[in-house]
Amino acid sequence: MAIQTAPSFEQLEKLKDTRDADLIGRGMLDPKRNRGRGAQTNAPSRFDTESREAFDDGWGQVEELKPFETVEHIERAKSIITRNESPDIGFDRSINAYRGCEHGCSYCFARPTHAYLGHSAGLDFERQIYVKVNAVELLKRELADKRYKPKPIAMGTNTDPYQPAERTHRLTRGILEVLLETRHPASIVTKSALIVRDLDILSEMAKLGLIHVGLSVTSLDHILSRKMEPRASTPEKRLEAIRLLSAAGVPTGVMAAPMIPAINDMEMERILDAGAAQGAQWAGMVLLRLPGEVREIFREWMLRHYPDRVKHVMSLVRDTRGGKDYNAAWGERMVGEGAYATLMQQRFAKAKERYGLDRRLPAARTDLFMPPRVEDNQLSLF
């Protein structure tokens, strides 16, 4: 009888190279060029009328291509506070100082917005980063409008306010300085430990009842986390950020988002437990969403990292979306439907209760708001 032995390291590497070559043949990017990125392709914008495709011209010469680098575009925005009327979102206004996000989450629901800029929702979304350099100036002007009525401003709703570009441009910090000065309430969701840099401002806002913060932790497995969010902070750093924020008196929560069937959903209780141990006061959970181009980008990510699970994961996803890959209906898109989604909600509710994360935080105050003074170089009539 033949005895089966485990494959050697060399055999595993050969299998990996063969699979990579097969995926490249299907149009996916070479992992050597695409290191540290989530998207595996860079399909043209859905608004493009032309497309380009690389092919072998038969000359036998292969050009050595460099790894993809991040490109920053300076943008002077016309406005900075975005409004929405979605009934299943707990805020009606938000700020995004950056467009695109270098964290590189393949499942990011904001990816399709890059098509409006003429870019791909794939690799372009995480390397073509737009920086709204006049964000602070615009915020002061909009808050100074006599018709403005204060309500909490959400940050981190479309792209992460503490992504790598923030280290250089410090727009999020500038926005927080204005919010503190005007006593304006806000909430922040991030995957970056860089938020601790602004602890001095956040702690002062917390004393006035103006701020809530949520740290998104998708996995406690360092390897899985790096695959899911290539350029976000490690799970350990995010948990440390929860500890430091909580110790400084900032109302902080842990968000298990997104929960992906058969990938990280089994970690939900562990994530909430770890967050509570670091001082988190509340918890959130969002089921995987795959709107627009995100479906194919996520499937390609699965083909690269978990090819044996693609059919199973997508089958479970459809079970939570009424048999479709995505259901955009209000009230259902965040929580899903069906047996699997119901089970996730039940597990989440029990875990929140078990770890003391089911407390209700007081609403951020709006009665302290003081409009900023803006120099418009126009003489007063009186």
Domain count, the chain: 1
- What pLDDT is stored for residue 201 in this prediction? 98
For residues 63-72, average pLDDT: 84
Q: Are 133 and 169 in contact (CB under 8 A)?
A: yes
Q: Are 91 and 150 in contact (CB under 8 A)?
A: no
Residue 12 lies in a domain: no
For residues 72-94, average pLDDT: 93
Per-residue pLDDT reduced to its tens digit, 252-302: 999 999 999 999 999 999 999 999 999 999 999 999 999 999 999 999 999
Residue 365 lies in a domain: no
Residue 380 lies in a domain: no
d(CA 299, CA 305): 10
For residues 55-82, average pLDDT: 81
**Where in the sequence is the domain holding 186, given as residue range(s)?**
32-45+68-354
Residue 164 lies in a domain: yes
Residue 88 lies in a domain: yes
The token duo for 237 is 């750093």
- CATH number of the domain that residue 215 is part of: 3.80.30.30
For residues 305-312, average pLDDT: 96
For residues 47-64, average pLDDT: 60
- What pLDDT is stored for residue 335 in this prediction? 85
d(CA 119, CA 116): 7
Cα angle 254, 256, 260 (rounded to 5 degrees) comes to: 170
Q: Is 26's pLDDT higher than 60?
A: no
Give me the sheet containing 98-99, strands edge to edge.
Answer: 71-75, 128-132, 98-99
d(CA 143, CA 127): 31
- What pLDDT is stored for residue 360 in this prediction? 85
53 confidence band (pLDDT: 50, 70, 90): low
> Considering the entire predicted model, what is its pTM?
0.88
Residue 60 lies in a domain: no
Minimum mean pLDDT among 11-15, 333-337, 347-351: which range?
A: 11-15
